[in-house]
Chains A and B, each alone.
Chain A
């Protein structure tokens, strides 16, 4: 963790539809650390994620990211994906190799081998050739994480990765995400569940009242720090 942070926020001021959402959010996301992003609905979590991925231009301040674009992965909430799309799990996972490989060339045996290893780690080898639409929410989420593993992401933003996902998937994904961090990735996770937070996070950025508050994970259990109106964010 001694290296320079992959992502820095400098006095960010963000707005959606001409309404200020966040002001003066600053901070660093260290390499090899998992940061949980929490806050009540409407506190600006998704807005901040958008800004961090360069999809939303800040009104003031800036996002400084040292990871190359192809090594940044953003896993949006599941609903953003078209599930009727005719693509198999393996095909989805393999698209993660594009940054190193390009979109035009075919895959070689080594790529397929790595894809299969990743799917085995995630416990989705048996559904490798099933279309995405036939999977459970948990399997689909594992396939998407598989794509980011294939991508060897240096910066990973996960937007509520455990929403609508079975506990078996959570138990598989948490150690894998931890491992990615230990391998040097910078990981930011939007979370609602305090149990997941305590199992996963090294640091916490709480968004409340239009500002960001940095906390240690063990401080979050104290009710006074809970997001206002965050009924879903009670201690586990």
Chain B
């Protein structure tokens, strides 16, 4: 029994690439879910997706300029992602169009531009790699980058936490308090872009958003408190990134989809059996009569 557990859970980490992948995954799992929780609370769940597409042309440009160099690709991704976020914000402010509409337009343009750039410069193998990620490619530089970005996100989030909470609940109140309140939203979008660029190495640009959103949407079924939501989401993300890596190792599956599908399984489990709003909770409510009031 112990041997089996050892073979399944411990032995894979004898390999250096698995160790790096799991550390990278855990670092991402610490930084991404809190951002996802805030996105869900603001009713912006799909913005993460849009931003993930938006970083693609930047990644592609980095790839064209410097070849397969993670720092260059990340830098390109961050710059391009921020530019798209700013542009979308500016377009919606000037034209009065809602931000999600502007974002939707920009992200689809970015996706096409990114795929075009990668196809011009490389083979289809490169394209698959950028879109879907690969744990094999995580070297020490990449790991350092991921860890540094994740740490920066967690620290920044801690600093702007309270302002962010109030901006979610009542943006008017925050705007009333300070002229600089617009910064909170911009910093938040910036963190989003940073996180997605950190994630694309393991998960690919398209799937990096999964580790952000799925734990956050699942957590809604387990807690009604913000701290609870964030804690549970981080826990779920850690479980799915580690579990997904092990699954992909043993069953010879691609790592990104394994991680995200495991997180997806967690989502379905939560939707069925969670404490609040789940199917089971609804069923429980039916059979338990209210005692008070």
Contacts and interface: CB of A to CB of B under 8 A. Distances in A.
Interface of B: 41, 43, 159, 162-163, 165-166, 168-170, 172-173, 175-179, 223-226, 228-229
A86 B162 contact: no
Contacts of B168: 82, 85
B223 A86 contact: yes
A70 B225 contact: no
A21 interface: no
Contacts of A104: 159, 162-163
21 contacts: A55-B172, A69-B176, A69-B178, A69-B179, A70-B177, A70-B178, A74-B173, A74-B176, A81-B169, A85-B41, A85-B169, A86-B223, A87-B165, A95-B166, A98-B177, A99-B177, A103-B166, A103-B178, A104-B162, A131-B225, A133-B224
Contacts of A200: none
Given A103-B163, A104-B159, A104-B162, A82 B176 contact: no
A69 B162 contact: no
Contact of B169 (A74, A82, A99): A82
Given A86-B229, A104-B162, A76 B172 contact: yes
B179 to A, nearest CB: 7
Nearest to A80: B172
A87 B176 contact: no
A74 B163 contact: no
Interface string A75-116: 010001110011100001001001100011000000000000
A53 interface: yes
A73 interface: yes
Nearest to B184: A103
Contact of A74 (B162, B166, B172, B226): B172
Contacts of B223: 86
Given A74-B172, A133-B224, 7 more contacts: A69-B176, A70-B178, A81-B169, A86-B224, A98-B177, A104-B163, A147-B173
Contacts of A80: 170, 172
Nearest to B165: A87
Contacts of A95: 162, 166, 173
Given A74-B172, A103-B162, A131 B224 contact: yes
Nearest to B166: A95
Nearest to B169: A85
Interface in A99-157: 99, 103-104, 131, 133, 147
A13 interface: no
Contacts of A103: 162-163, 166, 177-178
B176 A72 contact: yes
A103 B166 CA distance: 10
Contacts of B176: 53, 69-70, 72-74
Contacts of B228: 86
A206 B172 CA distance: 25
A169 to B, nearest CB: 18
